[in-house]
Structure 1
Amino acid sequence: MESFVGTGVALITPFNDDLSVDTAALTGLVKDQIENGIEYLVVLGTTAENATLSHEEKELVKETVIKANEAKLPLMLGVGGNNTAGVVEELKTSNLDGFDAILSVSPYYNKPTQEGIYRHFKAVAEASPLPIILYNVPGRTASNILPETINRIARNFKNVIGVKEAAGDIVQAMKLISMVPEDFKVISGDDMITLPMTLAGGKGVISVIGQGLPREFSDMVRAGLKSNVAEAYKLHYKIAPSIDLIFAEGNPAGIKALLAKKGMVKNNLRLPLVEASEALTARINDFMDRF
């Protein structure tokens, strides 16, 4: 399959009880994704609690994933921020060996205009030695990259090859798909609307629940890409309750609770995030017992 089509997974960062990076659990998680049909992996995104990791810990995570992956799946690295000059410097100075693309989030907190977003990604595109996937997630950044702006970026910078579209708006997603060049990848960043986006012409998903249910979720996306609608929706409705559960108290609290239930990680997060409540954990555990 073409790179970055199908199901990508935004990897968590497992922590030991002392909150150091649990490299053994991370290695096991990567291998589980490979064995269960995931098409690519995203390293050091929001789900990885990236904001709480030191530079040394980020390097450890990168090294661990590259080693565990054994060059089997394409790897995408999160490099973004709200200081354009800082993102450019990181792209120019970081060791990107082992990675195939960059996932770069729209600037958060500053709330730039559409022109500011365009100029930010112009600078990022001109600095990056790897292809770039934009990341539009208004719920976290407080600003929405409009389809017209994404289309402008896509047509002016050929190394910007796609967008992780996580506005949660299927109408906006369809407008975007209709506008961008045919080879530009519109990738769902919202697990619940992954299937309708894929059926509308999207290229799959960068997923959170896919990490916990890799076989079923990636089967659903592949069925959607092949327009096997009945098969895809049967899987969607089987999986859907878990999506509501894992996001009920924020990400990655829910997916870590689910993975802890599977015995793959310890249920540890770094402040300001905390583990899922006892009530939510019980509901997640009940779902997994019945799945």
Structure 2
Amino acid sequence: MELRGAFTALSTPFKDGQIDETTYRDFIEWQIEQGIDGLVPCGTTGEAATLTHEEQGRIIKICVEQAKGRVPVIAGAGSNSTREAIELTKMAKDAGADAALQITPYYNKPTPGGLVEHFKAIAAEASMPFVIYNVPGRTGLNLLPEHLKMITDAVPEAIAVKEATGNLNQGAQVIEQCGKDFNLLSGDDFTVLPLLSVGGCGVISVISNIMPAAMSGMCKAFFNKDHEKALDLSLKMAPVNRAMFMETNPIPVKTSLNMMGIFPEASFRLPIVPMQEDNKPKLKKILKEAGVI
């Protein structure tokens, strides 16, 4: 399975504390119309940590139904509990997702051997393509390239990594260890373009929630060897990228979607709270200058 281009780590709209299904379906349709290459429901940006398993299964099912096979769906299905990750992966597989996004177990900080056994156990119960998610800023564990190679050797389902360290040297070593055919996806919007140059095949992106055409267009331009256009799009997104992390993700991106009129509400589930009032005008100014609103 080849994963290529820009995949949006979808934000989840809420209404009165519940999933806003109508808005979510409309949002997915807009993403596809804008040229996005794939969709990732129930990741960090989708506030998966505050969803029940039932809600997570429903969101994945909505996404698969709405995508209608037009673009691949990589469903967030990871957990720091192997048993829970198995249950979530079965749910994603039953819903018809093309692949499962599997975060390295957070808080537990397993050894390399523990990581291998974790993913082997999931694959034994729910075999489907896995995208391993390496985000040490949230998990407290950095999956090194040599340990990723141990996983891919033991678990054929592990076909890709979402590399969110922002470390280009580490990204390059992933290709060195796992080979040029391995799917290296950026998980850090600041470093997509340089990561493509060392063998990356795309990105699971936050900013593509609000700028899907730009992020997808940058990847396409790079693959078409139009490096000037790719650089221009990268530079256009740079200030917005910074704005997406002026507060904890997904606060800025969901607030942006509300400012754009795509989400009727910018509501969150605790412990995430709405954007600080003094940051809203700053965000609006950046979005206006970038032509987003």
Q: Is this a same-fold pair by TM over 0.5?
A: yes
**Partner Cα separation in structure 2 for residue 121 and residue 173 of structure 1:** 21
Relative to structure 1, the CA distance from residue 124 to residue 56 in structure 2 (aligned partners, 3 Å threshold; closer, same or farther) is closer
- What is the alpha-carbon distance in structure 2 between the residues aligned to residue 67 and residue 93 of structure 1? 14
Q: 1:266-281, aligned counterparts within 5 Å? A: 266-281=265-280
What SS class does the counterpart of residue 179 from structure 2 fall into? coil
Whether 1:184 aligns to 2:176 is no
| Structure 1 segment 1-291 matched on structure 2, within 5 A | 3-16=2-15, 18-92=16-90, 96-265=94-263, 266-291=265-290
Q: Tell me whether 166-175 or 48-57 shows the greater mean CA deviation.
A: 48-57
**Preserved contact between residue 60 and residue 92 of structure 2 (Cα < 8 Å):** no
Q: Which whole-Å CA distance do the structure 2 matches of 1:30 and 1:68 have between them?
A: 7
The answer to whether the 8 A contact 1:76-1:99 is kept is: yes
CA deviations 1:205-239 (Å, max 9, x no partner) are: 00010111011111011112333222111111111
1:110 and 1:217, CA in 2 relative to 1: closer, same or farther beyond 3 A? Answer: same
**Structure 2: distance between partners of 1:126 and 1:162:** 18
- Any idea what SS the aligned residue of 1:274 has? coil
Q: Say if 1:204 and 1:225, in contact at 8 Å, map to a contact too.
A: no
Q: 1-side partners of 2:67 and 2:197: how far apart?
A: 30
Unaligned runs of 5+ residues in structure 2 are: none
Q: Secondary structure at the match of 1:215?
A: helix
> 2:249 & 2:92 partners in 1: Cα distance?
27
Distance 1:55 1:88, change over 3 A: closer
Alpha-carbon displacement from aligned partner over 1:15-58 (angstroms, at most 9, x marks no partner): 11x21111111111101110011111011111111111123322
Name the CA distance, whole Å, in 2 between partners of 1:92 and 1:13.
21
CA distance in 2, matches of 1:215, 1:89: 34
For the residue of structure 2 that corresponds to 1:64, the secondary structure is helix
Q: How many residues align?
A: 289
Instruction: Identify if the C-alpha distance between structure 1 residues 128 and 183 changes in structure 2 by more than 3 Å, giving closer, same or farther.
Output: farther
CA, structure 1 residues 57+188, in 2 after alignment: closer, same or farther (shift >3 Å)?
same
Give the superposition deviation at 1:14: 0.3
Q: Which runs of 4+ in 1 moved over 4 A?
A: 92-95
Distance 1:228 1:47 in 2: 30
CA separation of 1:87/1:231 partners in 2, compared to 1, >3 Å: closer, same or farther? Answer: same
More displaced 10-residue stretch of structure 1: 2-11 or 267-276: 2-11
TM-score, structure 1 normalization: 0.94
Q: Is contact 2:61–2:95 with CA below 8 Å preserved after alignment?
A: no
Work out the CA distance in 2 between the residues paired with 1:6 and 1:186.
11
8 Å CA contact retained: 1:79, 1:102: yes
Letter in 2 for 1:271: L
Is the 8 Å Cα contact of residues 41 and 76 (structure 1) preserved in structure 2? yes
Structure 1 window deviating more from structure 2 (182-191 vs 57-66): it is 57-66
TM-score normalised by structure 2 residue count = 0.93
Question: What does the per-residue CA deviation read over 1:230-284, in whole Å, with 9 as the maximum and x for residues that have no partner?
Answer: 2111111111101111111011001001111110011111110011222222122
C-alpha RMSD of the superposition:
1.6
Unpaired runs of 5+ in structure 1?
none
* 3-state secondary structure, aligned to 1:46: coil
Instruction: Name the SS of the counterpart of 2:18 in structure 1.
Output: coil
Q: Tell whether the 8 Å contact from 1:199 to 1:225 is kept in structure 2 after alignment.
A: no
% identical equivalent positions: 37
